[in-house]
Amino acid sequence: MTGLERFSINQMTVKQLSLPELADACAGLGIRNVGLWREPVRSYGLEATAALVRDAGLTVTTLCRGGFLTAVDPAQRAAALADNRRAVDEAAALGTDTLVLVSGGLPAGSRDLHGARERIADALAELGPYAERHGVRLAIEPLHPMYAADRCVVSTLAQALDLAERFPARQVGVTVDTYHIWWDDRAPGQIARAGAAGRIHTFQLADWTTPLPEGVLDGRGQIGDGAVDMREWRAYVETAGYTGPIEVELFNDGLWARDGREVLAETAARFVEHVME
């Protein structure tokens, strides 16, 4: 299939495939890039995964994910920082320069969004230099505001950039993911802001479909099925200077119930049709 040079398949989109199955399916379709997740990588083995993708000629575009940096309790904070340093190490071992960060929600019983965001900044001050020493950039991912309480208090690109800009771009930037920002009329301007500073560390796609499922985690739509104009968002990041991989990351019970190779082929075709053509 042509038009896939910049396509990257995030492993979660086809989590029913093992890593060797994913590598094999990518080879069959001419897919050169993958985004990986820490849990399946650990299950298969970090070194084994690194060898597998290297032998398959695959580029690892991102590792998902670090973060969850909003705890108040000192022991929990120390554990989170240690876990994020391990995530940096894993990213480096896999040969990717980008670690996606999901910042974390409000601690139980807290109503202090501002304080939680400041604790993220404190954590980044420790993690940024560590990541830089390992050749890894941290990519703060604003998550849709519907996750603000329980998953990520960073809800907009503007908030993510307000945090990132306290640090050098080689340490901290942002993840631009259509699923989380498509509704935001300020997002195009924030993409320009991010691009001008070299802070678009990864660009991810998912479509917005309704009704949302209970818990709102696993309803990310296949490209082309929903409300997001993919070409428009691609144009925003490209105008801002981003020419890197474009990762499709879908959490979708319907896709997960199907044959993974079929879903991968469909996703690649949708990418060509709705993003690149």
Q: Are strands 207-208 and 220-221 parallel, antiparallel or unpaired?
A: antiparallel
Q: Output the smallest distance, CB 218 to a copy of itself, in A.
A: 11
Which CB atom, from 74 or from 109, has the smaller least distance to a copy of itself? 109
Q: Residues 208, 236, 242, 271: which binds a copy of itself (CB under 8 A)?
A: 208
Q: Output the smallest distance, CB 255 to a copy of itself, in A.
A: 18
Q: Output the smallest distance, CB 254 to a copy of itself, in A.
A: 14
Pattern 122-141, binding to a copy of itself, x per CB under 8 A? Answer: --------------------
Which CB atom, from 9 or from 148, has the smaller least distance to a copy of itself? 148
Contact between 72 and a copy of itself (CB under 8 A)? Answer: no
Contact between 214 and a copy of itself (CB under 8 A)? Answer: yes
Q: Residues 212, 253, 258, 259: which binds a copy of itself (CB under 8 A)?
A: 212
Binding site for a copy of itself (CB under 8 A): 106, 110-114, 144-146, 148-150, 155-156, 158-159, 182-186, 208, 210-216, 226-229, 232
